Amino acid sequence: MHKNQGPVYYNDYLKLDSFLDCQQPLSRKHADPENPEAHDETLFIVVHQAYELWFKQILHDLNSVMAIFSKPQVADNEFGFIIQRLDRITKIQEMLLSYLGILETMTPMDFLEFRSLLVPASGFQSTQFREIEIKLGLNTNNRESIDREFFMGRLTEKDRDKLAALENIPSLLKLVEAWLERMPFTATNNFNFWEEYKKTITHILKGDADTIHANMANLSEADKKMQLENLRMTQENFDSLFNTEEHHKIVEAGKRKLSQKAMLNALFIALYRDEPMLAMPYQMFSAMMDIDENFTTWRYRHALLAQRMLGSKIGTGGSSGHQYLKKAADNNRVFMDLFNLSTFLVPRSQLPAIPSEVRQKLNFNA
């Protein structure tokens, strides 16, 4: 604990004299009697500066979580810090979403009073937001060509070099993947969980097939075809979990990001989340999904805001405005593998039984 070193004055501690002098509307600088300062430019600046402050806090918490996962072994007692900080990021995101409502109090015509002064500046140039994306696991190479172009093309050489260097550092996604690959529990000398899981899936899919065939007389030809096709695709999805070559193809196609071993161990956590040792890792998964969902929601809301303000005009950064932003929201997901774990869940009543020696290891009081 740090001890007081002398009196501290509120304004000095927060550097308010310099901090509150950072809002300098360009329309004020160029104002004249016929073209006065644009009143809402101050709002525009304050909101975006507030975003950057909270991006700084998100990075502060994200860096601390990544530091924990960078260790050769993650101690059990560190998951409390991991979950607390990821959860705080989600709370910050919820607040950032509300900022869009504040911006929407500015009318499109109010925005047009100063918009031309901003060209070519745009949100593309928020290096902190790009740093967050990269550190979560959204590598530039994961973006579509138009996104990569706008991602890097609107930055200074210094900022491009900084972000390029970050891509050589393992992201949170990669660090969690490595941690998952080290996880024990699914295989022992006398027990292979995945063999038991496969038997359960075979039994469930056979029951689904029997149900479909038993109701064939009540289904139209189109319904029969659809039901059988869905069953076939479900079988292929489950098979892809255990076929190393097929899993690799799916990763290469960009439809999965986690390695096969990491994916299987993540599924084990999702299936047995009620076990004491796995409860906190599952809470971590939930927080990671919340972060992904919140940023996706923010991108959609941002796209709607751009359309509300600009219609079909080109954005200040040279992009296609809301169409680009909407496309980015659709494509820039990081933790989709965690969302897709639900594809492979089974009812609790049909979970394979875990041997007592494994169950003991999953309990803190063993």
Write the pLDDT tens digit of every residue in 263-296: 999 999 999 999 999 999 999 999 999 999 999 9
Listed in sequence order, the residues at least 6 apart from 57 whose beta carbon sits closer than 8 Å to its beta carbon are 92
Q: Is the pLDDT of residue 148 over 70?
A: no
What is the C-alpha to C-alpha distance for residues 41 and 38, in angstroms, rounded to an integer? 6
List, as one string, the DSSP characters of 206-226: HHHHHHHHHTGGGS-HHHHHH
Q: What is the mean pLDDT of residues 174-201?
A: 90
pTM: 0.90
More confident position, 18 or 321: 18
The per-residue pLDDT for 231 is: 87
The per-residue pLDDT for 98 is: 95
The per-residue pLDDT for 147 is: 61
List, as one string, the DSSP characters of 264-300: HHHHHHHHTTTSHHHHHHHHHHHHHHHHHHHHHHHHH
SS3 category, 356:
helix
- Provide the CATH number for the domain formed by 12-23+36-361 in this structure: 1.20.58.480
Q: Is the pLDDT of residue 28 over 80?
A: yes
Contact in structure between 262 and 137 (CB atoms under 8 Å): no
Q: Beta-strand (E) ranges in 79-214? A: none
Looking at the chain, the whole-number percentage of residues with pLDDT higher than 70 is 92
The per-residue pLDDT for 140 is: 75
More confident position, 256 or 310: 256
Q: Is the pLDDT of residue 153 over 80?
A: no
Listed in sequence order, the residues at least 6 apart from 269 whose beta carbon sits closer than 8 Å to its beta carbon are 183, 278, 281, 282, 285
Whole-number average pLDDT of the chain: 89
Contact in structure between 64 and 85 (CB atoms under 8 Å): yes
